[in-house]
Amino acid sequence: PALSPDANAKYYAEVVIDLDIVIEPMIADPDVNNADVSKRYTHDTIRPLSFYGGVKKVDLGFVGSCMVHKGDLKILSQMLKNIDEQYGKVEFKAPLVVAPPTYNIVDELKAEGDWEVLQKYSGFEFDDNAPKGAARTGYENILYLERPGCNLCMGNQEKAAKGDTVMATSTRLFQGRVVEDTEGKKGESLLSSTPVVVLSTILGRTPTLDEYKAAVKGINLTQFAPSHKLLVK
């Protein structure tokens, strides 16, 4: 490993987490209406997908920036094919903004055939020969293939409409960074995995667990399998 402890290292605490009990996707919720203001926009409110009951409205989805890699975009590609096969079409009920981390990842996706799949279902694809003159201020219910970079995650390139509920693969829950408030509704950016974001934009709401399982059928969601012997001695 890149970083290893000394053999005689002493720890403040040792925590063992049983990953087998995590049986559904988890979502970090800014909990914007918590009566205790100090509890809003923290990373302490982690809820299972089933908490939302498949009914929480989602106005915009974002997959991108440094929080994703090529594997996430290949998952997106396969999910779109799965949904097309299940329903006979791919129709977005909320905008999905996709911003690959780097150009070389786009090149690899093109070489491996996944970018062509994304193009098939997209309504917009970035063009460096004809760049946008200003940040986007409105979105249609389509898939946007944006220029590699931070995009919505940074909040100074493009933003969601004020008051939106955003499902994103972003890094933080800072107030106003991805989405600002309106007088009548607080903007909120919930953090989740790529499959949850994608399916939320297809449905325009959080998916049920059954809908999630159907959409990721046949997809290997992770290659990471930590050694139990290394974790528990």
Note the Cα 130 to chain centre separation in Å.
27
Query: Which is it for the CA torsion 199, 201, 202, 203, positive or negative?
Result: positive
Residue 209 has pLDDT above 60, yes or no: yes
Q: CA 23, 47, 180, 141: dihedral to nearest 10 degrees?
A: 40
Amino acid letter for position 44: D
User: What ranges do the domains of the chain cover?
Assistant: 26-221
**What is the band of 196 on the pLDDT scale with cuts at 50, 70, 90?**
very high
Mean predicted confidence (pLDDT) in 176-196: 91
> How high does pLDDT run on average in the chain?
89
Q: Which residues contact 225 (CB under 8 A, 6 or more apart)?
A: none
Residue 189 has pLDDT above 70, yes or no: yes
pTM: 0.87
How many CA within 13 A on the CB side of residue 76? 37
**What is the band of 12 on the pLDDT scale with cuts at 50, 70, 90?**
very high
* pLDDT value of position 185: 92
C-alpha distances (whole Å) from 134 to each of 60, 129, 158, 200 are: 19, 15, 9, 27
Residue 205 has phi, psi (to 5 degrees) of -165, 170
Residue 106 has pLDDT above 60, yes or no: yes
Q: Tell me how far apart the alpha carbons of residues 149 and 156 are, in angstroms, rounded to a whole number.
A: 12
* pLDDT value of position 34: 92
Beta strand 60-64 pairing with 165-168: parallel
Task: Assess contact for 196 and 203: CB atoms under 8 A.
Answer: no
pLDDT, tens only, 129-183: 998 888 887 899 999 999 998 888 877 667 888 999 999 998 888 888 888 899 9
Residue 229 has pLDDT above 60, yes or no: no
Q: Output the six-digit token pair for 202.
A: 């297809």
Fold held by 26-221: Aconitase; domain 3 (3.30.499)
For the chain, the maximum distance between any two Cα atoms, rounded to a whole number of angstroms, is 59
Amino acid letter for position 198: V
Question: Of how many residues is the chain composed?
Answer: 233
**What is the band of 5 on the pLDDT scale with cuts at 50, 70, 90?**
confident
Q: Where are the beta strands (DSSP E) in 65-210?
A: 96-99, 124-125, 143-145, 165-168, 188-191
* pLDDT value of position 1: 63
Which candidate, 62, 68, 147, 67, places its Cα nearest to that of 103?
A: 147
What crossing angle do the helices spanning 103-112 and 114-121 adopt, rounded to 10°? 100
pLDDT, tens only, 36-78: 999 999 888 999 999 999 999 999 999 998 889 999 999 999 9
